[in-house]
Amino acid sequence: MNHIDPVDLKILKLLVKDGLCTNKEIAAELNLTTTPVHERIKRLRRDGVIEKYTIELNRKKLHRNLLVFCSVSLKEHAAEFLEKFEKDIQTLPEVVECYCVSGGADFLLKVIVEDMDQYKLFILNKLSALSNIGNAQSQFVVKEVKQASILS
């Protein structure tokens, strides 16, 4: 992988801010022509710095009003049980992010649902139905204070 220079960082910041930003717009912002911008973006993708392009959705406009962080502890911690949980959690669409963490819990889930009733159904019918769940602690987001990218 090549070194990422200040121009690369500026390009990345512009793309993080607006993934639909064109090479022409980026070039104008950086006082470059479109060809070097195109080549740099191509290299950043090839080197794996840019993994994918996505969009950010307004969850409230999609009626997903409740954001919950759920700490999950497993009963058994052998590799096969951890792998099974990681595989099973992939099937739950309410879980938008899952992290294996240190500390009091084994996993931290970011769960987005419509409301408290839907979360209750998620816990009772989906999460607790997974094998090896020992304990789950929920923290409900009251206010989102900051959301950012690593280059914001």
In a domain, 51, yes or no: no
CA angle (145 as vertex; 102, 18 as ends), nearest 5: 100
Count of structural domains within the chain = 2
The whole-number pLDDT of residue 152 equals 65
Nearest to 99, CA basis, from 126, 78, 69, 122: 69
Q: 10: Cβ–Cβ under 8 A, 6 or more apart, which residues? A: 29, 30
130 and 71, same structural domain?
yes
72 and 130, same structural domain?
yes
Instruction: Measure the CA–CA gap between 78 and 119, rounded to whole angstroms.
Output: 29
In a domain, 92, yes or no: yes
Mean pLDDT of the chain: 94
Which range of residues forms the domain containing residue 19? 6-46
120 and 83, same structural domain?
yes
94 and 42, same structural domain?
no
In a domain, 24, yes or no: yes
Each residue of 7-54: pLDDT tens digit? 999 999 999 999 999 999 999 999 999 999 999 999 999 999 999 988
105 and 39, same structural domain?
no
Q: pTM of this prediction?
A: 0.85
Nearest to 70, CA basis, from 45, 105, 23: 105
93 and 33, same structural domain?
no
In a domain, 133, yes or no: yes
